[in-house]
Chain A
Amino acid sequence: MPRRHGRRPRHAAVPRLAVAFAAVGAALFALPLVGLLWRASGTDVAAALGSPAARSALRLSLICSLAATACSVVLGVPLAWVQARAEFRGRALLRGLTMLPIVLPPVVGGVALLTAFGRRGLLGQWLERAFGVHLPFTTPGAVLAETFVAMPFFVLTVEAALRSVDARLEDAARTLGARPLTVFRRVTLPLIRPSLVAGAALCWARALGEFGATITFAGNFPGRTQTLPLAVYLALESDPNAGIVLSLVLLLLSLAVLVALRRRLGDAL
């Protein structure tokens, strides 16, 4: 069997000029973090984090972002599967649609969600009449807004992974008697597991930081829809120091997850 997982090929050295530009690029990301650290160093971190409002926002953020990630996985795996494998008219349109939230200003996304799921929205009126469910300005609404914005990151990652799977392995599974769903479960999914984890992590990190769509669609109600980014925004007006500490928490949380994943998964992310 040819060895495909050999040692990485050694690349040519990166030119100094490129290194210089890369340093500027990296500084662009690093400096704001350092700035936050610098500003936060003088403040009472414990007090800022200990306040009931901050705790409630942190808790809500974790719940909503994890729920949004779960929704994204449940809906996103089949969506990625269809996009990667099914041949049909309008596939390009579908792919465009699933990518739209990435480029759309989140506030616009929130407005669009209102027109669809709002009280007078396309689906919202019916949901309210038929089931008495209304999503805007509720916690499930915040989850919906976060899913809308974050799921594309999951779908994109998983779709790319599905395209890169050696289809002949799936063929081999079929000749051994596996039905398509069994092939997917026992061969395809295990093969793309690193990308599934990476996609879910990206999606979660995006959901955790979601602001625009959430505040537009779900509002800013402490304990119900006021997630950490919303709390930061609010705190900046009343108590800038608390805002900075909360920002720092958000940043470090995301950074820790992304760095840990990169270590474990390497190229999948």
Chain B
Amino acid sequence: MSLDASLRLELGTLDLWLDLQVEEGSTVAVLGPNGAGKTTLLRALAGLVPIEHGRVVLDDHVLDDTSRGVHVAPEARPLAVVFQDYLLFPHLDALDNVAFGLRCRGVARREARRRAQEWLARVGLRDRGGARPAALSGGQAQRVALARALAVEPRLLLLDEPLSALDYRTRAELRHTLRATLDAFPGIRLLVTHDPLEAMALAARLVILEKGRIVQAGSAAEIAERPRSAYVADLVGVNLFRGHARGDRVALDGGGELTVPDADSGAVLAVVHPRAVALYRRPPEGTPRNVWPAPIVGLDADGPRIRVRCGGTIPIVAEVTRPAMEELRLDQGGEVWVSVKATEIVVYPA
């Protein structure tokens, strides 16, 4: 039991081309920036956008196979979608929203309503069945949308940014409930989001999607350890450099050079944690192999820690404490000396 999708489609400026497998009983989160093609991927899987090339197989149902001209209509696919803005039908109350899918599948009205009521109770909205979507809070609407999707007992549940339309507090509350509901759902779960917190809270496996391509997949820890793109490095909060290794030197693609602990060759990625970057007002003396002057271009406060963005040939972020910032008067800008110990740089093949 699994979802096996291999598809390509072009839509406007987006060129979506990927292979994706999701096993039953696991939740996979597709994480990517806006415009990466996440929603288009969901719509393609749901059959709402035709794919140009490829195959989508759910269990043993072939949903799409362009080589044989197979395209199963959205209404005939054994899946359900929780949409980003929930898309509850504004003219129906919560109960009829949840009963909608069952009615479409031929369940008699009374029975459909009875089961819809059960689902509403399961998501904690026993008493809200008579409310129109406009009268529901964001969190309630999200749960009605979830109940509506689950009520048809789909094999595959697709979720598009399930929590991002909610305010911060509701999001934190619902993350837990949603996780529990997803874990109890016996089918295949695929969610797309731009929020790494949402992805990590709800899914064990992450797939990073950028510009229509999968750049990386794995557990959150695996991805954090060896980010493969600037987007991921940014999410994880580390400095990522792309370059070519030659012995213990890495010539960076953007100019400049880093001395690294191990000899290597070929295209590599190098990661430096901001904590491993030291700043000085005067040229430092000592063992660090990587020392260069750089202008300060910005400061971001993150609790007691300050992230100092340095520009120049090798743009890098350093993390310092507030007292250190005050002592060096980093908030006044100007030039600093950046120092990174070679042993603090992690290098791996690009």
Contact = CB atoms under 8 A, between A and B. Distances in A.
Question: A and B: partners?
Answer: yes
Contacts of B142: 1
B152 A176 contact: yes
Interface of B: 43, 46-48, 73-77, 79-81, 83, 85-91, 100-101, 104-105, 133-134, 136, 138, 141-142, 148-149, 152, 165
A166 B46 CA distance: 18
B91 A191 contact: yes
B104 A176 contact: yes
Contact of B88 (A1, A177, A182, A186): A1
B85 A1 contact: yes
A237 to B, nearest CB: 52
Contact of B87 (A3, A168, A186): A168
Given A1-B136, A1-B138, A1-B141, A175 B77 contact: yes
Nearest to B103: A186
A133 B227 CA distance: 79
In which size bucket is the chain A interface? 20 to 34
Given A174-B47, A178-B100, 9 more contacts: A1-B88, A1-B141, A2-B85, A171-B46, A171-B87, A172-B87, A176-B80, A176-B100, A179-B104
A178 B75 contact: yes
A1 to B, nearest CB: 4
Given A1-B138, A1-B141, A169-B89, A174 B48 contact: yes
Contacts of A177: 75-76, 101, 104-105, 152
A171 B48 CA distance: 7
Contacts of A251: none
A173 B85 contact: no
B89 A187 contact: yes
A168 B136 CA distance: 20
B46 A175 contact: yes
A105 interface: no
A176 B48 CA distance: 12
A156 B255 CA distance: 62
Contacts of A168: 83, 85, 87
Which 7 pairs, one residue from A and one from B, show the smallest C-beta to C-beta distance?
A176-B101, A177-B104, A1-B141, A174-B74, A172-B87, A190-B91, A178-B104
A175 B85 contact: no
Contacts of B87: 166, 168-169, 171-172
A115 to B, nearest CB: 44
A210 B138 CA distance: 50
B27 to A, nearest CB: 19
A175 B89 contact: no
29 contacts: A1-B133, A1-B136, A1-B141, A1-B142, A1-B165, A2-B85, A2-B138, A2-B165, A168-B87, A172-B81, A172-B83, A173-B100, A173-B104, A174-B48, A174-B73, A174-B75, A175-B46, A175-B75, A175-B79, A176-B80, A176-B101, A176-B149, A177-B105, A177-B152, A179-B73, A179-B75, A179-B104, A182-B104, A186-B100
